[in-house]
Structure 1
Amino acid sequence: LSAAYAALAVELTKHEIRSIGGYSLGRVIGEGPSSLFLLSLVATESSIYLVTELCSGGELFDYLVEQCAPPAGTGGLALAETRRIFGQLVLGVAYLHSEGVVHRDLKLENVLLDENVNVKIADMGFGREFERGRWLETKVGTLGYTAPEIVAGSRYLGEQVDIWSLGVILYALLTGSLPFDDDDESVMRSLILAGRYAVPAFLDPDASDLVQRILVVDPLRRPSLRDILAHPFFTRVPGPSSPPTTTARGPAP
């Protein structure tokens, strides 16, 4: 066998896989809700390729840019569409966590869409198994979506960093921009560590409240995925348009 086949064989026959690459993770979560379905594996002398279902809708990032570009609209996606896409994403992450897996690099570019604009979570390269309540230490992720505890170089709980990243994605879907964004990475790190971001006045009150509850610097104060799905953003029956909220800056109370 080639070195790639040998490595693949070892990985897939482990009784207790502690750190999972994208290819083997597909075997664990490929049939879960909002998970990218793994069809087959192809190994060569130097590489291992994943063959997955086709996601003709592309990346959520590109979809958001397209939908928000003039004259299509301003700001983020429509509230109903944001609720649907974000709800699918939360359910998908909840499934990962229920299987003992954390993603650790959730971002718009790692969320794919099928032909019906349904969510498919992709790129599990930083995914790994975890034990609930056990601290992780590896510094991974993409800065604009990375939780403060990782930016600070502290130990962290895998579930909580995924929840923070979900908050960043929700903000982006609602506003068309990222909450923590600057050309200077040191400035961006400072903003993340302080939990400082602008809350646009045009946001729906329930949406604004959910964002501010998720993007809390203290990971132990962030809501669980169950709490997120039970939030009025999802449960309240849509009514007439609400008046704009006031603008605020800074971490959630």
Structure 2
Amino acid sequence: MEQAGEACCSAEETFTNDYKMMMTLGQGQFSEVKWAFHIPTVSCVAVKILRNQKKYASLINSEISVMKSLAHPNIIKLLHVVQTRETTYLVMEHASEGDLLHHVLELGALEESKAPRLFTQILHAVKYCHDNLIIHRDIKANNILLDHRGNVKLSDFGLSTKVIPGQKLGDFCGTLHYCAPELFGKEAYDGHATDIWSLGMLLFLMVAGHFPFNAYSSVRVIQQILTADFRVPSHVSVDIRDLILKLLMINPYRRPTIGQIMRFP
């Protein structure tokens, strides 16, 4: 035990000597993401700092396992993992242009000449996950990062899970405004279809500049989600409007797969 403790301290010491923390990029329930400078390689990285609490152990281990299995140009890359007694550090590539939500809020809505390119890259990332039996479960504008070339990097696999073909999920997770109707029911659901719904919410936000369901209370938002009570703004092109309507079908079995979405105009 003493040797393990010494090794743990050594890992922490090496980590703090090699990385200089610069500023906080984001904060979650039990984690924090910082922009950091890797001194030996003179490069910028993002470091997700997770507190090793027993109730979060399975989530941390799942996130590490999923991220280690991913290798795609539109998915944020895990570079290094350092685990100490109290903290787990996930060192990832840094997407210098921030998240998609910031860009949408800044512009009000993305130009339709730009939105399809970004959405297509997001589709490629999610298709790769689904092809490898991974459900993201938290697709949202905050988790879509942009690199210095303006290319998409899907991030934050803290809620993701690996499934076997045909497996249904039963737990509720995600961010309210992106949650599919079936998440509020009692029956097990298809995780692929809930990711598709989240993509529909994301596309709507990208081209409209606001959420389709934007009531003042959570209860009312849930009611709007359950009835798909929304209207696509008139300035949105017919092709994108039709795709949004297909993605946001209440019946999950009527939503298209990623492959079918990619064949849309």
**TM-score interval (norm. to shorter):** 0.7 to 0.9
Counterpart of 1:32 in structure 2 is 72
Counterpart of 2:63 in structure 1 is 22
The C-alpha deviation readout for 1:66-111, integer Å capped at 9, x for no partner, is 222xxxxxxx211121000000001100000111100001100111
**TM-score, structure 2 length as denominator?**
0.76
Q: Is it true that 1:185 corresponds to 2:218 in the alignment? A: yes
d(CA) in 1 for partners of 2:150, 2:219: 35
TM-fit CA distance, 1:132: 2.5
Equivalent position SS for 1:23: helix
Counterpart of 1:161 in structure 2 is 194
Equivalent position SS for 2:120: helix
Q: Which amino acid aligns with 1:52?
A: M
TM-fit CA distance, 1:199: 1.5
TM-fit CA distance, 1:151: 2.1
d(CA) in 1 for partners of 2:86, 2:65: 17
Q: Is it true that 1:171 corresponds to 2:211 in the alignment? A: no
* Aligned CA-pair RMSD: 1.9
Equivalent position SS for 1:165: helix
d(CA) in 2 for partners of 1:65, 1:116: 20
TM-fit CA distance, 1:19: 9.4
TM-fit CA distance, 1:112: 0.9
Counterpart of 2:131 in structure 1 is 98
Number of corresponding residues? 212
Q: Which amino acid aligns with 1:180?
A: F
d(CA) in 1 for partners of 2:59, 2:243: 33
Assess if the C-alpha contact under 8 Å between 2:181 and 2:226 holds in 1. yes
TM-fit CA distance, 1:188: 0.2
Q: Equivalent pairs: percent with the same residue?
A: 33
TM alignment of 1:116-127, pairs within 5 A: 116-127=149-160
Higher strand share: 2
Q: Which amino acid aligns with 1:131?
A: I
TM-fit CA distance, 1:23: 2.2
Give the gaps of 5 or more residues in structure 1. Answer: 6-16, 69-75, 233-253
Counterpart of 2:241 in structure 1 is 208
d(CA) in 2 for partners of 1:133, 1:168: 24
d(CA) in 1 for partners of 2:225, 2:179: 8
d(CA) in 1 for partners of 2:101, 2:63: 21
Assess if the C-alpha contact under 8 Å between 1:152 and 1:193 holds in 2. no
d(CA) in 1 for partners of 2:118, 2:253: 26
Counterpart of 2:95 in structure 1 is 55
Q: Which amino acid aligns with 2:92?
A: T
Assess if the C-alpha contact under 8 Å between 2:170 and 2:189 holds in 1. yes
Give the gaps of 5 or more residues in structure 2. Answer: 9-57
User: Structure 1 residues 152, 127: CA separation in 2 closer, same or farther (over 3 Å shift)?
Assistant: same
